[in-house]
Amino acid sequence: MIPAVMPTYARWDVAADHGEGCYLYAADGRKFLDFTTGIAVTGLGHSHPHLVKAVKEQAERLWHVSNLFHIPGQERLAQRLVDHSFADTVFFVNSGAEAVELSLKVARKYQSATGHPERYRIIGCEGSFHGRTFATLAAAGNQKYLEGFGPPMEGFDHVAFNNLNEMRAAVGPETAAILVEPVQGEGGVRAPSPGYLKALRRIADEEGVVLVYDEVQCGMGRSGKLFAHEWEGAAPDVMAIAKALGGGFPIGACLATERAAIGMTSGSHGSTFGGNPLAAAAGNAVLDVMLEPEFLPRVEAMARLLSKRLSRLVETYPRLFAELRGSGLLLGIRCVVPAADVVTRLRHEGLLTLTAGENVLRILPPLIVGEREIDEAMTILEKVAREWPA
Ligand SMILES: *Cc1c(COP(=O)(O)O)cnc(C)c1O
- The Å distance, Cα 312 to ligand 1 centre, comes to 31
Residue closest via CA to ligand 1's atom 11 equals 130
Close Cβ partners of 1 (under 8 Å, ≥ 6 residues apart): none
Ligand 1 atom showing the smallest separation from residue 252 Cα:
7
Q: What angle do CA 21, 58, 245 make, to 5 degrees?
A: 50
Task: Quote the percentage of the chain above a pLDDT of 70.
Answer: 100
Angle at Cα 297 formed by Cα 221 and Cα 187, nearest 5°?
35
Q: Provide the pLDDT for residue 390.
A: 86
Which residues contact ligand 1 via a Cβ below 6 A? Answer: 95-97, 100, 129-131, 181, 185-186, 214, 216-217, 242-243
CA–CA distances in Å: residue 73 to residues 77, 118, 276: 6, 38, 8
CATH 3.40.640.10 residue ranges for the chain:
50-290
If you take atom 5 of ligand 1, which residue's CA is the nearest one?
96
Q: What is the DSSP string of 281-311?
A: HHHHHHHHHHTSTTHHHHHHHHHHHHHHHHH
Q: Tell me, which fold does domain 50-290 have in CATH?
A: Aspartate Aminotransferase; domain 2 (3.40.640)
> pLDDT tens, 187-222?
999 999 999 999 999 999 999 999 999 999 999 999
94, 100, 271, best to mutate for ligand 1 pocket (most atoms within 8 Å of CB): 100
Which of these, 44, 8, 14, lies nearest to 289 by C-alpha position? Answer: 44
The CA 216 to ligand 1 mean position distance, Å, reads: 6
| CATH superfamily of domain region 16-48+294-386 | Aspartate Aminotransferase, domain 1 (3.90.1150.10)
Report the b/e string of 88-122 with b at 16+ CB within 10 A.
Answer: ebbbbbbbbbbbbbbbbbbbbbbbeeeebeebbbb
Instruction: Report the distance separating Cα 115 and Cα 117, nearest Å.
Output: 6
- β-partners of residue 323 are 334
Atom of ligand 1 nearest to the CA of 131: 4
The verdict on pTM exceeding 0.95 is yes
Q: Residues spanned by CATH 3.90.1150.10 within the chain?
A: 16-48+294-386
Helices and strands in the chain, H and E counts: 12, 15
Q: What is the pLDDT of residues 101-119, one digit of tens each?
A: 999 999 999 999 999 999 9
Give the relative orientation of helices 277-290 and 49-61 as an angle to the nearest 10 degrees.
150
